[in-house]
Amino acid sequence: MTTTSNVLDRAKTIVTDKVQATIPVDRQVQAAHAVKKAKRRAGLETPLAFTEAPIPNPADVPLAEIDVSNPFMNRQGKWYPYFARLREEAPVHYLADSPFGPFWSITRYEDIQAVDSNPEVFSAEPYIVLGTPPMPAEMFIAMDPPKHDVQRKSVQSVVAPRNLKEMEGLIRERVQEVLDGLPTDEPFDWVERVSIEITGRMLATLLDYPYERRRELTRWSDAMGGSAEATGGTTHLDDLFTAGVELARSFTALWHDKAARRAAGEPDGFDLITLMQTSEDTKDLIKKPMEFIGNLALLIIGGNDTTRNSMTGGVFALNQYPDQFEKLKADPSLIPNMVSEIIRWQTPLAYMRRVAKEDVHFGGQFIRKGDVVVMWYASGNRDESKFENADALIIDRKNARNHMSFGFGVHRCMGNRLAEMQLRILWEELLERFDRIDVVGEPTYVQSNFVKGYEKMMVQLTPKA
């Protein structure tokens, strides 16, 4: 029987949903954009900008002045020599002044593991990059327990083993399509044609996002992760906020569309939005738009650069160590171990940032409450005390799986199995088709102190005879 209160409840829900669909979070993002621009116009805030200059050799820089946050370190091949010096001479290193403010660098494997495993002392709030992201977003990667745990739990079933099994066939088909469309008679850009394309397809699958619009996901993710203020990148403020507004609008519409289709009897899929709508904890998440958008953005950003650059990094590394490619062809059962080794060697995200919640003695240093502490995974993964001959790619390395590219503890990467599956499928399908994948020319690198990635890498394929 329909009661007045039921009718009122339904009416209220419809009105709330309507409001969310029309005024909602995109307006909040637009407002934040307007405030930011006004502050800049009034001179209350100076935008950061970086100009590339040659970086000296680490031995020529006083220890106290070493700044590994320079966004050109990777591009100039300088990060690893600098990290080697810090691990040796100052494994818990303080830089008093940088464009991102003062910060501690943790560079040894064991120390990084200790910091990452101690959220009681080292907080992931308010954000996990060195600088200050110009656009606010609520993401559980930058929340401490218990709030973090509740939010993570509500979305993690999207990458649960059963769900990954469901997705594997579709992901494989999509990888096959990409590889079968590649030219074999001329060089092409691997980043654009393979890494970005496959990652975009995977994200569209995960979110059940309109397939033909998958490049939007890549564009938003690139824009949101790449500002000068946050990571030393190149994204213009307007592009960043435009991406935020578009993302907010598209995902709000997707949520409502999905709800309508389910209400009309469409069977539930295994995508993220369906999982959110069918889970007790998140079925009303749309009513907390900043959290809803923040967590979707996290999945897109988390899954985008990382997997993409592992796809490019693997090909690049095997070109640097051709004997390893021969080893792989002779024994394709090495693929799963090689995937871990590629992720170690590449370390797609160079670090995560923490803030000390209390004064703490650590590694012979005194870290004060409020100090910024950066865990340099890129350095820990090259720590010789953990990985013998650490700079080399060794596809049958015994402890490759102990790499720290996925972090540790409560924030350990939620998408790690999905990323590994994606890379395994890629390499299985590549070995089926190609005898050689030659990198022809130096790759170009992303300007960032966070994403260790490639802009462009030209390759020439040789099909199997």
Task: Please tell me whether residue 405 binds ligand HEM under the rule CB under 6 A.
Answer: yes
Residue selected from 134, 226, 415, 443 as contacting ligand HEM according to rule CB under 6 A: 415
> How far is it, in rounded angstroms, from Cα 14 to Cα 148?
30
Q: Which CB atom, from 205 or from 227, has the smaller least distance to ligand HEM?
A: 205
CB of 434 to ligand HEM, least distance (A): 22
Q: Which is nearer to ligand HEM, 374 or 439 (CB)?
A: 374
Residue closer to ligand HEM by CB (options 191, 343) is 343
Helix 214-225, helix 289-320: angle, nearest 10: 90
Q: Position of tokens 């079968």? A: 180
**Residues in region 135-154 near ligand HEM by CB under 6 A:** 140-141, 152
Q: Are 192 and 456 in contact (CB under 8 A)?
A: yes
> Counting contacts by CB under 6 A, is residue 343 touching ligand HEM?
yes
Residue 39 has φ and ψ, to the nearest 5°, of -60, -40
**Residue 307 touches ligand HEM, criterion: CB under 6 A:** yes
Which region among 101-109, 165-173, 345-353, 383-391 touches ligand HEM (by CB under 6 A)?
Answer: 345-353
The secondary structure of 345-406 as a DSSP string is HH-SB-EEEEEESS-EEETTEEEPTT-EEEEEHHHHTT-TTTSTTTTS--TT-TTGGG--TT
Of 129, 315, 419, 457, which lies in the binding site for ligand HEM, with binding defined by CB under 6 A? 419
**Nearest CA among 141, 116, 112 for reference residue 126:** 141
Of 9-17, 75-83, 378-386, 413-421, the segment contacting ligand HEM by CB under 6 A is 413-421
200 binds ligand HEM (CB under 6 A): no
Judged by beta carbon, residue 310 or residue 319, the one nearer ligand HEM is 310
Please give the residues from 152 up to 181 whose contact with ligand HEM meets the rule CB under 6 A. 152
370 conformational bin, left if phi > 0, alpha if psi -120 to 50, beta if neither = left
Q: How far apart are CA 413 and CA 404, in angstroms?
A: 10
Q: At its nearest, how many Å lie between ligand HEM and the CB of residue 151?
A: 8
Stretch that binds ligand HEM, among 44-52, 78-86, 188-196, 348-356 (CB under 6 A): 348-356
Q: Supply the minimum distance, in Å, between the C-beta of residue 365 and ligand HEM.
A: 21
- Beta carbon of residue 396, minimum distance to ligand HEM (angstroms, whole number): 20
Question: Does position 414 bind ligand HEM by CB under 6 A?
Answer: yes
Using the minimum distance from each CB to ligand HEM, give the nearer residue, 349 or 390: 349
Instruction: Give CA 435 to chain center in angstroms.
Output: 31
Cα-flanking dihedrals φ and ψ of residue 249, to 5°? -65, -45
Using a 10 angstrom Cβ sphere, with 0-12 exposed, 13-18 middle and 19 or more buried, the burial of residue 301 is buried
Nearest approach in angstroms of CB 307 to ligand HEM is 5
Which residues have C-beta within 8 Å of that of residue 60, sequence separation ≥ 6?
A: none
Q: Which of 407, 434, 453, 461 binds ligand HEM (CB under 6 A)?
A: 407
Tell me which residue has tokens 């308010």: 126
306 touches ligand HEM (CB under 6 A): yes
Tell which residue, 257, 172, 165, has the closest CA to residue 213. 257
For 421, left (φ over 0), alpha (ψ -120 to 50), or beta? alpha
* 436: Cα within 13 Å, side-chain hemisphere: 13
The site that binds ligand HEM (CB under 6 A) totals a number of residues, namely 28
Assess contact for 383 and 87: CB atoms under 8 A: yes
Q: Which among 96-104, 273-281, 324-332, 403-411 is the span making contact with ligand HEM, rule CB under 6 A? A: 403-411
Is residue 313 a contact residue for ligand HEM (CB under 6 A)? Answer: no
Q: Give, for 95, the enclosing helix (H) or strand (E).
A: strand 92-95
**Amino acid making up residue 395:** I
116 binds ligand HEM (CB under 6 A): yes
Point out which span in 53-61, 300-308, 314-322, 387-395 binds ligand HEM (CB under 6 A). Answer: 300-308
Q: Which is nearer to ligand HEM, 55 or 194 (CB)?
A: 194
The answer to whether 21 touches 38, Cβ cutoff 8 Å, is no
x/- mask, ligand HEM, residues 206-245, rule CB under 6 A, reads x---------------------------------------
List interacting residues with ligand HEM (CB under 6 A). Answer: 116, 140-141, 152, 206, 298-299, 302-303, 306-307, 310, 343, 348-349, 352, 405-409, 411-415, 418-419
